[in-house]
Amino acid sequence: MRGYVGVTDLGWYRFLKERSPLDEVNFWQPSGGRGFRAIQPGEPFFFKLHAPHNAIAGFGLFARHSVLPDWLAWDAFGPSNGAPDYASMRARIERYMARKRRSATGEYQVGCLMVTEPVFFDEADWIAQPADWKPNIVQGKGYDVAVGEGLRLWEASLERTQRMRQELLVAEGAPRFGASVPVRPRLGQGAFRVAVTDAYERACAVTNEHSLPVLEAAHIQSYANGGQHAVANGLLLRTDIHRLFDRGYVTVSPDHRFEVSRRLKDEWDNGVVYYRLHGARVRVPQHVEERPAENLLAWHNENVFKS
């Protein structure tokens, strides 16, 4: 198993530590055009502070990487970006960018490294950076956590985490760190939104609308009713269709057909634009494991849809 040591600043660490415990954080990077393949989902991601601190101040489990416009990163993660508000986040992006790369709409593209179940150490428990760390490393470096410096970081992080939370391995909802094998990371709300948005290639499953500001990740089985933040429990929907879906006026059948309840017309004497879509096949993700689960679609049909 591998781990990754990502470089961050003291302000990001302090802001998030004060708000712990958190189920996820966004370790964003201002140079957003690059892919990230250093580690796989479920492998450890260590938070290393800039000089002069040069220490590991916490860690978590890597969940996924995506390149997002700055406003969407803020909408998805809010203060879990390590900033109190959107303006502060943008100011940080501008400070770290070598050169400004705004789009025509004035937004920045940022690389988002989503980390679940983060743990932030007290300053007295910071871990010395890897002995082979070079000053010219700007963003981060991967390590094998089974040997050498990688193993030292991993074992020291586990020891500190277990000491911080004695109930670590048995408490429901506690971080699940233990054996040196990757585990499937539990997505938080923000990572769920990004994962669903990417799985549907940033287009509404029903209308094929590509305008990101009006696209939302809908839970098929709501979180309040036991649904999980899992891509197979999600659909990317235009805002109006999302609201109708949550209120049961529309649904998606287990065979991926869009259905509109007659009660939409009965109750609101409207809905023509939606009835035109009735019976249409919805688009689904290319990867089979990301497609909406049939049992969850059946649950929505039986428990939410106003047939």
Inter-residue contact 112 to 26 (CB < 8 Å): yes
Reply yes or no on whether the pLDDT at 170 is more than 50. no
User: According to the model, what pLDDT value does residue 32 have?
Assistant: 59
Of the options 3.90.1150.10, 3.30.365.10, 2.30.130.30, 2.60.40.1180, the CATH number for the domain spanning 2-164: 2.30.130.30
Peptide bond connecting 30 to the previous residue in cis, omega within 30 degrees of 0 = no
Q: Rounded CA gap, 183 and 62, in Å?
A: 10
Quick one: which of 114, 112, 118, 113 has its CA closest to 176?
118
- Lowest mean per-residue pLDDT among 86-95, 230-239, 275-284: 86-95
Pairing of the two strands 234-238 and 250-252 = unpaired
Higher-scoring residue by pLDDT: 181, 75: 75
**Average pLDDT score over the chain:** 91
Higher-scoring residue by pLDDT: 187, 35: 187
Higher-scoring residue by pLDDT: 184, 67: 67
User: According to the model, what pLDDT value does residue 172 have?
Assistant: 44
Kindly compute the dihedral angle of the four CA atoms of residues 135, 138, 139, 145, in this order, to the nearest 10 degrees. Answer: -10
User: According to the model, what pLDDT value does residue 177 have?
Assistant: 59
Averaged pLDDT, 84-99: 85
Averaged pLDDT, 188-215: 97
Averaged pLDDT, 156-172: 71
Q: What is the pLDDT of residues 204-224, one digit of tens each?
A: 999 999 999 999 999 999 989
Reply yes or no on whether the pLDDT at 303 is more than 90. yes
Reply yes or no on whether the pLDDT at 280 is more than 70. yes
Averaged pLDDT, 157-186: 65
Domain positions in the chain are: 2-164, 203-303
Amino acid identity, position 96: Y
Residue 91 structure tokens? 């100011």
Reply yes or no on whether the pLDDT at 151 is more than 50. yes
pLDDT band at 187 (very low <50, low <70, confident <90, very high): confident
Residue 56 half-sphere exposure toward CB, CA atoms < 13 A:
31
Q: What is the pLDDT of residues 98-127, one digit of tens each?
A: 555 555 567 888 999 999 999 999 999 999
Q: What is the pLDDT of residues 223-279, one digit of tens each?
A: 899 999 999 999 999 999 999 999 999 999 999 999 999 999 999 998 999 999 999
Averaged pLDDT, 15-19: 97
Inter-residue contact 243 to 214 (CB < 8 Å): no
Q: What is the 3-state secondary structure (H, E, C) of the chain?
A: CEEEEEEECHHHHHHHHHCCCCCEEEEEECCCCCCCCCCCCCCEEEEEECCCCCEEEEEEEEEEEEEEEHHHHHHHHHHHHCCCCHHHHHHHHHHHCCCCCECCCCCEEEEEEEEEEEEECCHHHCEECCCCCCCCCCCEEEEECCCHHHHHHHHHHHHHHHHHCCCCCCCCCCCCCCCCCCCCCCCCHHHHHHHHHHHCCCCCCCCCCCCHHHEEEEECCCHHHCCCCCHHHEEEEEHHHHHHHHCCCEEECCCCEEEECCHHHHHHCCCHHHHCCCCCECCCCCCHHHCCCHHHHHHHHHHCCCC
Phi, psi of 57 (to 5 degrees): -105, 0
Residue with tokens 């040196």: 180
pTM value? Answer: 0.88
Amino acid identity, position 273: V
Quick one: which of 62, 28, 66, 72 has its CA closest to 217?
72
Averaged pLDDT, 20-41: 86
Share of the chain above pLDDT 70, in %: 90
Residue 101 structure tokens? 């790369």
Q: Rounded CA gap, 252 and 237, in Å?
A: 11
Averaged pLDDT, 72-94: 95
